[in-house]
Amino acid sequence: MTTTLRDDREVIREEPIMRERIVALLSDGPKTVPELASALERPTHEVLFWVMGMRRYGRLHEVGAADADGYFRYEAIERDPA
């Protein structure tokens, strides 16, 4: 995992690519942003951009209450194939 900070625009540009990977990871069950970051081998702050974008546009949602560290678990929302 890299510790170099990338430009926000570069991170946001990757969202369409990472969306599928995140949904695939969530097929095993709800996960927190740090759990997703670890599985994707990406920094937590980058995964947070993607998760919040997906949440805003109805691709996933929080499940239950926040954990002891304040992180919510997210699960994918099934989309109609229309």
Per-residue pLDDT at 24 exceeds 80: yes
Whether the pLDDT of residue 2 is over 60: the answer is: no
Q: Identify residue 79 by its one-letter amino acid code.
A: R
Q: What is the pLDDT of residue 33?
A: 97
pLDDT digits (tens, 9 = 90+) for 42-64: 999 999 999 999 999 999 999 99
| Cross-strand partners of 73 | 63
pTM of the model: 0.85
**CA–CA separation, 54 vs 81, rounded Å?**
17
Domains, in order of start, for the chain = 8-68 (1.10.10)
pLDDT value of residue 79 = 75
The pLDDT mean for the chain works out to: 90
